[in-house]
Amino acid sequence: MIRAKGHHSGIDPSDATAPMGAPSRRDMMSGLAAAGLAASLPAAALAQDELRSFPFDAAAVERRAQALAAQPFDGSFPPLPAPLAGLDYDAYRDIRFRNDHAFLGESGGPFRLQLFHRGFLYPRPVAVNLVRDGISTPVKYDPALFDFGRTRVEGPLPSDLNFAGIRIHAPLNRPDRLDELIVFVGASYFRFLGQDQLYGLSARGLAIGTEGDKEEFPFFRAFYVEVPPADAKALTIHALLDSPSIAGAYRFTVEPGRNTTVRVSATLYPRQELSSVGIAPLTSMFFIGETDRGHSDDYRPELHDSDGLQIATGSGEWLWRPLDNPQGRRISTFLDRDPKGFGLMQRDRAFASYQDLEAGYERRPGYFVEPDGAWGEGSVVLMELPTDNETADNIVAFWRPRQPYPAGKPVRLAYTISAHTGDDLHPNGKVMNTFIAEPAASGAARRAADAHALRSRRFLIDFGGGELGKSLGDAAPPEIVASASAGRITATSIVPNPHIGGYRVALDVRLEGAGTADLRAYLKRGDQALTETWSYPWSVA
């Protein structure tokens, strides 16, 4: 299912008039992923223990999650008061948290906590608590925390209204200015920024049933934010996750920097056996790229939040899989054991590739996930969905364990997500560009694009960086190692490409009939791999 960017928050770079923290129209087109789960359930109040103070220690949220999992799932909540339930996009967008009411500043530390109001596409209540000196104290709803702008909400609002989500500010880019650092709003979605980055893709706490017809959206029921000391370099946020299939306790440690990191630890309590669970899921958008410009006559050459899936396998191999906007749903599975990392990356950093003065696609981060400890056997799953616009998140990637999680048995996981530009993940040469054309000489007359002609294609892969630039003057270029799971590679060639400090490789591939060929290529010299491995699925109808 394609999800539009309703879970996104903060200022959207494509909407220059949006106030800080106010979701733009493209952000809200389908926030129903966060709200729809409870739409058909009977109304019920939040558990009372989420609305009062209690002693807090490292295992407090785990105990709550375990107790929650022992009960039948109840995701219902009381309906919003009429003034809030009837808000349209513009009215909701006008409700802003007052900067001078931000929390956490009393300790003298660098972080500030702000809250999102409930309403419009965010009806689910989220309890927010501050943890200070071993005591968790709920933040009570108070309309004075918000500037309602031109939006008029008549009559009193209940004190237990709670909030829709949270966001954190910190001096990310300049020591004298607070920048938005991380946002949690809508289901279990969150996104965060490194220095000089703009929002693009999102992370999620957990994915369930993503590949099926009825995806389940676990949601964060409550947050517990530790009040940091004055000299804090990182902020710790705990979260209680819930859904029909599972409950869980999460701990997020956010450290701002050039590549802001979020260290995640989670203890999951399955209510039922989970065979379709996605760990550390990432969600992004890919509309138009260099391999296929036929989806739109837009003046902008490329439109995407991410342009490739990066995988560091357990064996030490680095893979690069360019993303695509396919004609139908495409699911790619990369089997592995104890992966070292994976992520959706935005590698192309040239403004000329996008020509968008507002969206700033060249400044959008990639998120790279690095497991803490051995994750065992499983696979990195990439799902690409067709889209006809740039407002939809049509790319999903996550880790799927080979063995299902049994009901009633706790699962403990830990990993770190970094907001990267992707330049320093590994030292080898990287895939800089991927182009697809017919296998003909440049300038030759073009053949009609019949079925027979489309069974032969030329794939042009630019490898640059690493040690490649030092070998451009060598008499012999690096060796091409290429393979195809179906069909045959009819020709290969390699020429220096000084514009990227590397080489351009050409692979001519032919399929004799309909089908899919998984293509792979990398460069080596002797027994040493000089580049990551390019991986691409090519389909012929």
Q: In this structure, what token pair is assigned to residue 515?
A: 């089908």
* pLDDT single digits (tens) 128-166: 999 999 999 999 999 999 999 999 888 788 888 999 999
Query: In this prediction, what percent of the chain has a pLDDT beyond 90?
Result: 75
Spell 275-300 as b/e; 16+ CB within 10 A means b: eebbbbbbbbbbbbbbbeeebeeeee
Q: pLDDT tens digits for 242-278?
A: 999 999 999 999 999 999 999 999 999 999 999 999 9
Q: How far does the chain reach from its first CA to its final CA, in angstroms?
A: 23
* Closest-CA residue to 226 (of 136, 145, 163, 97): 136
Residue 182 Cα distances to 24, 90, 160, 476, 478, angstroms = 17, 24, 25, 49, 43
Distance between CA atoms of 104 and 37, rounded to whole angstroms? 32
**Which helix H or strand E contains 236, and what residues bound it?**
strand 235-242
Q: Per the structure block, which two tokens stand in for 40?
A: 């058909």
Residue 248 φ then ψ, to 5°: -160, 155
Full pLDDT tens readout for the chain, 541 residues: 555 554 333 323 222 223 334 444 344 433 433 343 333 322 243 444 466 889 999 899 999 999 999 999 999 998 899 889 889 989 999 999 999 999 999 888 999 999 999 998 899 999 999 999 999 999 999 999 999 999 988 878 888 899 999 999 999 999 999 999 999 999 999 999 999 999 999 999 999 999 888 899 999 999 999 999 999 999 999 999 999 999 999 999 999 999 999 999 999 999 999 999 999 999 999 999 988 756 667 889 999 999 999 999 999 999 999 999 998 999 999 999 999 999 999 999 999 999 999 999 999 999 999 999 999 999 999 999 999 999 989 999 999 999 999 999 999 999 999 999 877 899 999 999 999 998 987 666 565 555 556 789 999 999 999 999 888 878 899 999 999 999 999 999 999 999 999 999 999 999 988 899 999 999 999 999 999 999 999 988 7
Rounded Cα–Cα distance for residues 161 and 401 (Å): 38
pTM: 0.90
What is the number of other CB atoms lying within 10 angstroms of the CB of residue 455?
A: 16
Nearest 10 degrees: Cα torsion 31, 343, 416, 68: 40
d(CA 232, CA 129): 19
Instruction: Read off the pLDDT of residues 329-369 as tens digits, 9 standing for 90 and up.
Output: 999 999 999 999 999 999 999 999 999 999 999 999 999 99
Amino acid at the residue 260 = T
